[in-house]
Structure 1
Amino acid sequence: MNAILQKRSALLLSILSGLLLWAAWPTSSLTFLIFIAFVPLLAMSDRMTERPAAYFGLLFLAFWIWNTATTWWVGNTTVPASGIFANAFNALLMTIPWMCYRTTRLRAGRATGYFALAVYWMTFEYIHQHWELSWPWLTLGNAFAMYPQWVEWYEYLGTEGGSWWILIVNILAYRAILQYRSTFKFSAILAPALAILIPTVASFLVSGDKNVPADTKIVVVQPNIDPYDEKFARGAAEEQLRKLIGLTAQKTDSSTRFIIWPETALFPSGAWEHDLNVQPEVLAIRDFLRRFPKASLISGAATYRQYTVTDEIPSTARHASEGNYWYDAFNSSIQIDTSANVQVYHKARLVPGVELTPYMRYLPFMKKLALDMGGISGSYGLTPGVPLFTNPDCNVYTAICYESVYGSFVAEKVREGAQLLVVVTNDGWWGNTAGHRQHLHYARLRAIETRRWVARSANTGISALISPQGQITESLPYWEPGVIAGMVSCSAEQTFYVKNCGYIAFAPVIFCILLLLYTIVLRVTRKKNVENIR
């Protein structure tokens, strides 16, 4: 009977942890639950010391509940089964640091095991931001996206610091529960309480300079074009361009410095980059901008680049049967002004399975498996374009959709000289779900980490202006066309996180390697001691 009760108890703990993680995640207002969301898993780990297979299954269940309840909307694609696979695969990956924790915990003791769990999880998050199956949407530090006032200190430690915070508080909370069950000590409660309180108080002390004058006028357009039925329809590009220009004209004047259009707003069927200056859309935009000579227009675009016989052909390239040449298709953003210079940036962080078939250089037969979510089927190219849009008074980095989820990647662009951040996206693929709202809130964390204004143009919403303190100063409702005109500032200052994000993110990997070596040495040493006793 005790064994049955133990099994049921472990199952309930697994389910409870998954539900707490979901309940704490944006767009829920129960964010504080993140500080105890791993406590049931820690309790389950102590009870499941003898059955590794069952332990793995319960871990997977907890993370599958979290992933599926939080990001079920990724299945809103042309292939709904892709969402089921994505959530299950991500849950599977999340079990790895916990399985490693179990091994270290059993061989090196409880204290070392807790430290190892934090290190293993942080290593997992680092890898999950840098390999081709990357999906950092559920990085723990993103949990505070709706409450930036709690994490103004992200300008020092970024979302990595937020992940450490969550792990440490959960471990301290579990230790407090264990001590309460044995011998109650006030210090046990004091430790997790201080671990929550100190960073929160520090947040109010480092909220950034709120007196930086906003002296640059920016216009953000939300055209509200249905990506499934309207955006990529044959012959629709001309009408969509008229709509974009008409909305822009409503709030653009002689003082406007930047105009922002959303992802793939231009050339939905693609345009050759060597011919951009003669594209009808570019000519129409330049004609419009002549009335506002100070303005530069930044827009998402679908572009092609043709390779010559002397070029190195990348693994993402496609072969044109008519003409016998190689080319790449890109999810791009472009900057247009009244000069003949069109700057082109290529999206560098592509969505696995949607824009990129991972590691297809090793599996070339899989090239065409990427889902058609942008009007161009197959994987997009990864050949670099310009890193920043340069201007005499303000350099701009344009994050295309999913790129805005990568804190260290955006910070690198700021370190390279970006003074203003722009996000162009098309969140209409996911419908009116939590997906587009989560994406909006994550941009607030990028603003804090870099202390930059963020201008966000979303095809169907939510478009917004976000201050360096992570506050949304202007926004447009979801699924409504509209335009925002507001004032922002361009800053050249660099935060501690911008300067050091690479070290902050990679440090857990070093600790992970050392821990794994320590566990191996410990196992070998104990094995030799047992043999000597015999």
Structure 2
Amino acid sequence: MAATGSRWLDPGPWALAAWGALVAVTAFPPASLGPLALALPAPLWALAVRCEPRRGFLLGWIQGLGFFGALLWWIAPTVARYGGLPWPAAVGCVALLAAYLALYPGACGWACAAVGRRRPGLALALAPFVWTGLEGVRGWALTGFPWGDVAQALWNQPLALRLAPWVGADGIRLVGVGLAVAPAWLLARGAVSTRALAVPTVAALTWAGLALAPSPLPPADATLRVGVVQGNIDQAQKWDRAYRRVTLDIYERLTLDLVPRRPQLVVWPETAVPLSVQDGGPETSRLLALARRAGVWLLFGAPGYERVDGRVEYRNSVFLVTPEGTWAGRYDKVHLVPFGEYVPFGRYLPFLKKMVEGAGDFSPGPGVRPLSGPGLPTLGPLICFEGIFPGLAARHAEQGARLLVVVTNDAWFGRTPAPYQHLAFAALRAAETGLPLVRAANTGVSAVFDRRGRPLTTTVLGARDAFVAEVELPPPGPTPQAAVRPWISPTSLALAGLTVFAILRGPRRHPRT
């Protein structure tokens, strides 16, 4: 009993949980004190190299629990309100998600402790590669969820955005947490030696070299005037059939208000049109007539469907209409939200209910397909959740997109940090690909970013608004990060794994201190 009591009184785990929560609240949007995120792993590494592997894992898991719980708390009110769950179950959903995501810093703590028993200095030098590799796995495993990555916290830092076209979010993460080795060594040993400064020095030089190097972005060769409409439709009314006409009235009025400012393309948010336009009817005719009347290309989100092998597959889609009022193309969302747009293993878990409205589970589209038309620069659409994945934006760029367009509906999350955290990914996608990015959100935050990830225009969350911005368009083609970024996390993980294996298989060279 005494041992159990002393374990609960140990300040280390509680301090790590508090540190993780503090970084989540202050470093990430809306506070956006991004540089603080660079120090997130330092206390964990410092403690882990001095303990047993099992305790190293526990320390990492506890820090992760505090971090992800504080970062993602907004999921609870969302699933309670729209998922129909009682509050204890809604809080339990956040706890389960945080417990899963915390496994990754837990694994990093285990690796640091396992190597630190034999080579403490090497353990700290290896830690940034372990962290980067595991974060790469987190962004891929179980459909992927890179929310809370260090790079996301640096979305408004010019020096980080200058790295993006060279190495992408994965490279920003690696050099960023590489700097954390110095404070980790100081916390672990009480002083920083020349050896301890090797990794952070290389990280700092790499960062400075890439940030100060001539930009790899080619000069722009055209411009486009883009209008963005933020309808601010209440999620509780969005799918009410009686409210459809009001919704279309709002979007039509805001679009026509933009006409004097001469937009060439007008973008509406995800599922801005809450009906199936493929079925025709007066609402569809009204949309086509609006594009003709305004004389603009119109891109909007709406439910889509496809008949496949005698059955109907429902899609989350965006539709493109020409200024002449004819259909020009459709893009179907490729990366769906688990439990939001489909239920994983739904055949075996019939008691689970997805949050979104609709006739059935959504199916993913056939693949990344940019949209284009005569006189319109090629568009790379990303629907909501897709904007957090760098690979999808890169594939649009490789296929000739000259403008990224993110449409989303963050009304689910109300006035919580979620819309601001979601916005941060847009800056990274623009800076990585070297493409301007237009973001249309139902309730906000809508924005336009230039080719370097800098915001040109942003709206207020929870307001009805519309604006026009002019963006510079580059010639088509990928940036260097498209070739480099996909290898950074796997290479880091392989290097870390092989080193950990070699150290554990070899003789113990240093006694624990």
Residue type of the partner of 1:38?
P
- Residue from 228, 231, 235 that aligns with 1:220: 228
| Structure 2 unaligned blocks of 5 or more | 509-513
**Residues 273-292 of structure 1: matches in 2 within 5 Å?**
273=278, 275=279, 278-292=280-294
Separation in structure 2 between the aligned mates of residue 372 and residue 366 of structure 1, nearest angstrom: 15
Corresponding position of 1:143: 153
Separation in structure 1 between the aligned mates of residue 383 and residue 431 of structure 2, nearest angstrom: 19
Separation in structure 2 between the aligned mates of residue 84 and residue 16 of structure 1, nearest angstrom: 16
**Secondary structure in 2 matching 1:443:** helix
**Secondary structure in 2 matching 1:394:** strand
- Residue from 157, 161, 181 that aligns with 2:167: 157
- Residue from 369, 379, 392 that aligns with 1:409: 392
**Residues 228-307 of structure 1: matches in 2 within 5 Å?**
229-252=236-259, 255-266=262-273, 268-270=274-276, 273=278, 275=279, 278-293=280-295, 295-307=296-308
Offset of 1:177 from its aligned partner?
4.6
Offset of 1:376 from its aligned partner?
1.9
**Secondary structure in 1 matching 2:102:** helix
Separation in structure 1 between the aligned mates of residue 33 and residue 75 of structure 2, nearest angstrom: 23
Residue type of the partner of 1:65?
G
Q: Conserved in 1, the CA contact under 8 Å of 2:161 and 2:452?
A: no
Corresponding position of 2:28: 25
Corresponding position of 1:100: 111
Q: Does 1:440 align with 2:411?
A: no
Q: Deviations over 1:437-493 (max 9, x none)?
A: 111122111111111111110000111111112221112211111101111133224
Residue type of the partner of 2:96?
F
- Judge which range, 186-195 or 63-72, deviates more: 186-195
Offset of 1:130 from its aligned partner?
2.4
Residue type of the partner of 1:27?
P
**Secondary structure in 1 matching 2:372:** coil
Separation in structure 1 between the aligned mates of residue 32 and residue 231 of structure 2, nearest angstrom: 30
Q: How many residues align?
A: 492
**Secondary structure in 1 matching 2:162:** coil
- Compared CA separation, residues 97 and 454, structure 1 to 2 (3 A): same
Q: Conserved in 1, the CA contact under 8 Å of 2:45 and 2:124?
A: no
Q: Does 1:389 align with 2:371?
A: yes
- Residue from 23, 41, 45 that aligns with 2:44: 41
Q: Deviations over 1:197-255 (max 9, x none)?
A: 7625753555676974762111100000011x211113222221121111000012594
Residue type of the partner of 1:46?
V
Separation in structure 2 between the aligned mates of residue 210 and residue 12 of structure 1, nearest angstrom: 50
Corresponding position of 1:345: 331
Corresponding position of 2:502: 518
Separation in structure 2 between the aligned mates of residue 16 and residue 200 of structure 1, nearest angstrom: 32
Q: Does 1:129 align with 2:130?
A: no
Corresponding position of 1:334: 319
- Compared CA separation, residues 305 and 132, structure 1 to 2 (3 A): farther
**Secondary structure in 2 matching 1:355:** coil
**Residues 492-531 of structure 1: matches in 2 within 5 Å?**
492-512=476-496, 514-515=498-499, 518=502, 522-523=504-505
Offset of 1:191 from its aligned partner?
7.0
Q: Conserved in 2, the CA contact under 8 Å of 1:394 and 1:420?
A: yes
- Compared CA separation, residues 160 and 284, structure 1 to 2 (3 A): same
Q: Does 1:489 align with 2:472?
A: yes
Separation in structure 1 between the aligned mates of residue 489 and residue 369 of structure 2, nearest angstrom: 21
Q: Deviations over 1:373-412 (max 9, x none)?
A: 3x22753201416611122341101111111111222112
Offset of 1:339 from its aligned partner?
5.8
Residue type of the partner of 2:33?
L
Offset of 1:180 from its aligned partner?
4.6
Offset of 1:89 from its aligned partner?
2.2
Separation in structure 1 between the aligned mates of residue 245 and residue 156 of structure 2, nearest angstrom: 38
Q: Conserved in 2, the CA contact under 8 Å of 1:262 and 1:459?
A: yes
Residue type of the partner of 2:140?
H
Separation in structure 2 between the aligned mates of residue 511 and residue 341 of structure 1, nearest angstrom: 50
Offset of 1:86 from its aligned partner?
1.9
Separation in structure 2 between the aligned mates of residue 351 and residue 206 of structure 1, nearest angstrom: 38
- Compared CA separation, residues 5 and 57, structure 1 to 2 (3 A): closer
Separation in structure 1 between the aligned mates of residue 97 and residue 199 of structure 2, nearest angstrom: 37
**Secondary structure in 1 matching 2:241:** coil
Residue type of the partner of 1:96?
A
Separation in structure 1 between the aligned mates of residue 125 and residue 175 of structure 2, nearest angstrom: 13
Residue type of the partner of 2:144?
S
**Secondary structure in 2 matching 1:479:** coil
- Compared CA separation, residues 46 and 101, structure 1 to 2 (3 A): closer
Q: Conserved in 2, the CA contact under 8 Å of 1:150 and 1:200?
A: no
Corresponding position of 1:72: 73
Separation in structure 1 between the aligned mates of residue 180 and residue 365 of structure 2, nearest angstrom: 42
- Judge which range, 131-140 or 201-210, deviates more: 201-210
- Compared CA separation, residues 270 and 526, structure 1 to 2 (3 A): farther
Corresponding position of 2:358: 376
Q: Conserved in 2, the CA contact under 8 Å of 1:119 and 1:511?
A: yes
Q: Deviations over 1:38-72 (max 9, x none)?
A: 221122213322x72x4433322211111111121
Separation in structure 2 between the aligned mates of residue 415 and residue 432 of structure 1, nearest angstrom: 36
Q: Conserved in 1, the CA contact under 8 Å of 2:156 and 2:454?
A: no
Question: RMSD across aligned C-alpha pairs, in angstroms?
Answer: 3.1
Q: Conserved in 2, the CA contact under 8 Å of 1:263 and 1:299?
A: yes
Separation in structure 2 between the aligned mates of residue 263 and residue 225 of structure 1, nearest angstrom: 11
Corresponding position of 1:471: 454
Q: Conserved in 2, the CA contact under 8 Å of 1:262 and 1:457?
A: yes
Amino-acid identity (%): 23
